[in-house]
Copies of this chain bind each other. A is one copy, B any other.
């Protein structure tokens, strides 16, 4: 957590969030008022935060990773826009919103794997709850074609069990079966698990709700169990 995130949690009087995340920061928020909601209740959670803020409270809405990457900052601003609540303008009846950046899951996962994101990369979520699957396929295909390192968010859940295998097939059209893949589950948490495999074996790897999957580009290699995407220095300089 950043210094700014700690300051903000210190300053607010209500903390809203998914219950698992509130549990993770219970030592930081101590006895502050909390409003916890379950998974997939994102709209309710944001509404609760907006209501608290409109009621004059200083309210923090907590996300895992970075609040702006596939997370709640977007829904907060989208709902304020839909409801035409003025935001950061100083108008009467409006709200002030600060988005506090954090360490995204892709950065935490990459750090645990070594340095797979040293070159151009794409982030794709496999969740087709809010995005048509054809768009997700199109993005996977384009990212694989152009040799992006690919970070896969929401690779699998109990209900969404075939999407990752299909993603593997699409990427394999453009990339070698031996391409290194890193899977980080529960990054920086007690259940943290790091697994490396070849792209062709991704369908056999253990992947879950808390996993992020990073597929290397055509230059990515493994050294001492670390995943490394070179930037290109060794082509230009004597190392």
Taking beta carbons and an 8 Å cutoff, which residues of A are in contact with B?
1-3, 42-43, 66-71, 73-83, 86-89, 97, 99-104, 107-108, 110-112, 114-125, 129-131, 135-136, 138-139, 141-143, 145-148, 221, 223-226, 228-237, 239
Contact = CB atoms under 8 A, between A and B. Distances in A.
B147 A135 contact: yes
For the complex formed by this chain, how many copies does it contain in all?
2
Given A107-B101, A122-B121, A233-B42, A115 B76 contact: yes
A80 B97 CA distance: 44
A86 B74 CA distance: 43
A236 B120 contact: no
B117 A99 contact: no
Closest 3 CB pairs of A and B: A74-B118, A130-B232, A142-B146
A230 B102 contact: no
A45 to B, nearest CB: 11
B74 A130 contact: no
Given A73-B114, A81-B221, A142-B146, 6 more contacts: A66-B103, A68-B107, A68-B111, A68-B115, A80-B223, A143-B143
